[in-house]
Amino acid sequence: MAGTAYEAFLALGNFEGRERKQILPQWIEAATRIGLDENDMEFAVNEFIPEMWDLQYLGVRKMIGAMTREAIDHTQLKEQRQRGVKLVYGIIPAILTPYQAVKKAGGDKVFVSFPDMCLMNFLQPLFHKGAPLFELAEQSGLTYGCRHCALNKLRIGLRLRDVVPTPDIQWSFGLVCDEATKVDEYINCIYDDKWHAVITRLPHDTMMGEVDDELPERVAYLAAGFRDAYEEVQRVTGVTVREEHIAGALDDFQRYLGKTDVLTRLNAEADPQPLRGSALVNFCHPFSMPFNTGIEYMEDALDTMIEELKVEVAAGRGIYPKGVPKVGAYFIPYAVPWVDKIFMDNGVATSSSLTMIPSAKQLIPPSGTDLYQNVAEQWLRMVFGMGCHVEIKTWIEKVERARPDALLMGFFDYDRWLGQMHKMGAREVEKATGVPTFYIEADFFDDRDYSREALRTRIESISQVIKMRKAAKLAAERAAAPQGAA
Amino acid sequence: MLVAGVDIGSTTTKAVLIDGAGALVAFAIIDTKHDRDESGEEALTLVLREAGRTDADLTLVASTGYGRRSFKRTQKVLPEIVCHARGTEHLYPGVQTIIDVGGQDSKIIAMGEFGTVQMFEMNDRCAAGTGRFFEVLSRRLLSVPMEELGPLALKSAKPVFLSSVCTVFAESEIISHLSAGTPAEDIAMGILESMAKRVVAIGKQARIDYREPVVLTGGIALNVAAGRAFADQIGKEVVVLENPQMPAALGVALIALDDWTAEGRGSPA
């Protein structure tokens, strides 16, 4: 029956009863707009999602539901614009706070979004269907393959497909991802001269040993950037962002961050581990991007997941066998979840992402009297907002806390900054913590060029090496222990 | 007790028999066929015949290599990195760095404490730096049998420099050299040096520092000039095993035996 697979997908995302029936026509329309058909639904519902995601948890299903709501909302961007809603876009790397403040100020008069990130997080992890949009961007002139970030390709592809209309303003953070801002120029010059961008530049001329968020002049510099950007947002959208909105957004960020810390710790410290690393990353998205439908749906999923994990941990249940080695990652490649699945098949648990574990400093809310400076501090404490050397120190802190058996780097070869930083950072982390690091040359979002067999061999090898090293280490510790010791 | 290790590679399939104490009983090698299961069977039959044993004598069969999962009778499947490491460590105790150049991929393995793999790197996407690169460029363009390429390359006084590490583009460069009358030995050594440079760079990118002793394994090591090409690149002595194609098959057999013993499933004797 027509629509059955679409409805099954909604059921999987925990849409129930009357709401499911009501939203079904919108969902079918939304799916069509982003290039999904009934075959894609059947593949997702019957094969891909059950294999890649831990659906036994209501929290995971709610999380899929929250992402679906957001995706449906994004396919209405054109209509929203026609109704006079002002569109404010951004792109990662970023934090929730500046955008959340705009949403709090503007409510339904403003649509705040990272459209490429939102739809990437939806299309690739749940349907494995980003490729047609990447190809659209490539056919328009962007180089094929791994030389450009697939997020930027998706932004162009979505624009060309007319899913994502011209924003009233695109607010991004420049240097950290220089390609993102260049892509805005590209769209502006070639396709859409109304594509209006404003960049708030992070300081990023930090000397070795300096910590941006601890230097008043740097915090003040970024805070001034926020003031300027809010003025521009106000000029373009007519939405006035007041201090109460910023204060609320600061609180939202800290609250959500704190909860992800609870979830990450529960999962990383549990043996057996109850949740796969890819799911863990997905729960963390709201502190690095806005949700136009609100972070409440994701937060509800997160709260549910935390409670479910507490029960699992207390009962000693997990999805991996007890005692399996755990691998941390810079960023578990959730957009290519079959990578995570190969680790699982090989008896290794993906346990934590360096980008998504809050540092000790991040968990302390900025307490200054200038709210703009507080936002700046939050931003500069985020791993991708700080200088390389400070970021690597933060990685070390996180590895020492989570104590994985190994650390996986890579997947960012297309990124001039991260690609090299992973190699430098891995060496430092290994030296400081003794945790072995492995590197995989691959693309975080776009797996079209992966040699699956080569990658499988590599992951199997990494898994075997981790297991052997862990076994050898345990044997050596047992041999060195005094007789009679447990 | 008899344990068989079968390494089904992209070019050749190797089979090893070891006894319950881990001692080598026999080794056999054949060209890999399109059907990888058949290749494994054939290599296993051959090694049993060489040892004067039969299927009935086998306690365990383990497989590794590109076709490891296609081998239907295998009881244990392992990826080749750990098998190369285990086998090479057995044949050359104390090895610190292993360079393995196979038909389809190249691996650089740094050994760590406990005789296990500390770090490894391999080519993921490109044929440059693999046995296939050497085979395509040497045999096809120079029309020299593989076994004669090494002695030919060693005669080189002035190896050519290949500016491209891509198999496809290197081919056109070699054609230019041939047209210009460059001696075949200089081209043969140039190809080896180009490949060695590419492989060594893959390891360096992964922060592998080529600690000695360095052992070269894989089919390329049968080429007598290969050791020199790699030694020149890393500036250190490179050891070539007597049978450089054996380590992975031997390694998978040894690991299978270790696990069997650790699981208390029988006496190793």
Looking at chain B, the whole-number percentage of residues with pLDDT higher than 70 is 90
Q: Does A414 touch chain B (CB under 8 A)?
A: no
Mean pLDDT calculated for residue range B200-217? 90
Å between A192 CA and nearest CA of chain B: 36
> What does the pLDDT read at residue A241?
94
**Fold of the domain spanning B94-240:** Nucleotidyltransferase; domain 5 (3.30.420)
**Range of A456-460, A467-471, B51-55 with top mean pLDDT:** B51-55
The pLDDT tens digits for B22-54 are 999 999 999 999 999 999 999 999 999 999 999
> What does the pLDDT read at residue A486?
46
Contact B124 A439 (CB under 8 A): no
Q: What is the ipTM of this complex?
A: 0.75
Between A45 and B263, name the one with better pLDDT: A45
Place of tokens 């991708």: A384
| Non-local CB neighbours of B24 within 8 Å, separated by 6+ positions | B16, B17, B18, B250
Under 8 Å between Cβ of B167 and B132 = yes
Between B169 and B42, name the one with better pLDDT: B42
Contact A458 B112 (CB under 8 A): no
Looking at chain A, the whole-number percentage of residues with pLDDT higher than 70 is 96
B-chain residue closest to A409, CA distance? B206
Judge if B1-92+246-269 and B94-240 fold alike in CATH terms: yes
DSSP string, B225-244: THHHHHHHHHTS-EEE-SST
The pLDDT tens digits for A117-154 are 999 999 999 999 999 999 888 888 777 665 678 888 89
Q: Is the dihedral of CA A411, A417, A422, A423 positive or negative?
A: positive
The pLDDT tens digits for A56-109 are 999 999 999 999 999 999 999 999 999 999 999 998 888 999 999 999 999 999
Give contacts of B116 with chain A, Cβ < 8 Å. Answer: 465, 468-469, 472
pLDDT at A19 over 70: yes
A-chain residue closest to B79, CA distance? A461
Which of B125, B126, B252 should we substitute to test contact with A (largest number of A Cβ atoms within 10 Å)?
A: B125
Q: Please tell me the pTM assigned to this model.
A: 0.84
Å between B159 CA and nearest CA of chain A: 32
| Non-local CB neighbours of B180 within 8 Å, separated by 6+ positions | none
> What does the pLDDT read at residue B269?
45
Å between A431 CA and nearest CA of chain B: 12
What count of other Cβ atoms lies within 10 Å of the Cβ of residue A197?
Answer: 19
Tokens of B168: 């496809």
Give contacts of A448 with chain B, Cβ < 8 Å. Answer: none
Of A427, A464, A472, the CB nearest to B79: A464
| b (16+ CB within 10 A) / e for A291-312 | bbbbbebbbebbebbbebbeeb
Contact B116 A465 (CB under 8 A): yes
Contact B79 A460 (CB under 8 A): yes
Q: Does A370 touch chain B (CB under 8 A)?
A: no
> What does the pLDDT read at residue A263?
95
Between B266 and B133, name the one with better pLDDT: B133
> What does the pLDDT read at residue B178?
83
Most distant pair of Cα atoms in chain B: their distance: 66
pLDDT at A470 over 50: yes
> What does the pLDDT read at residue A231?
92
> What does the pLDDT read at residue B268?
47
The pLDDT tens digits for A176-189 are 666 777 777 777 77
Q: Which of A199-203, A223-227, A395-399 bottoms out in mean pLDDT, i.e. has the lowest?
A: A199-203
What count of other Cβ atoms lies within 10 Å of the Cβ of residue A418?
Answer: 24
Mean pLDDT calculated for residue range A243-265? 96
Any idea where the domains of chain B sit in the sequence? 1-92+246-269, 94-240
Of B66, B82, B206, the CB nearest to A468: B82
Give contacts of B124 with chain A, Cβ < 8 Å. Answer: 441-442, 451, 454-455, 458
> What does the pLDDT read at residue B206?
79
Q: How confident is the model at residue A331 (pLDDT cuts 50, 70, 90)?
A: confident
Give contacts of A439 with chain B, Cβ < 8 Å. Answer: 121, 206
Interface of B with A (CB under 8 A): 66, 78-82, 105, 112-122, 124-125, 205-207
Q: Is the dihedral of CA A95, A97, A101, A103 positive or negative?
A: positive
Between B268 and B45, name the one with better pLDDT: B45
B1-92+246-269: CATH superfamily: ATPase, nucleotide binding domain (3.30.420.40)
The pLDDT tens digits for A358-378 are 999 999 999 889 999 999 999
Q: How confident is the model at residue A260 (pLDDT cuts 50, 70, 90)?
A: very high
Contact B113 A438 (CB under 8 A): no
Contact A469 B125 (CB under 8 A): no
Contact A461 B125 (CB under 8 A): no
pLDDT at B83 over 90: yes
Mean pLDDT calculated for residue range A379-384? 88
Q: Does A46 touch chain B (CB under 8 A)?
A: no
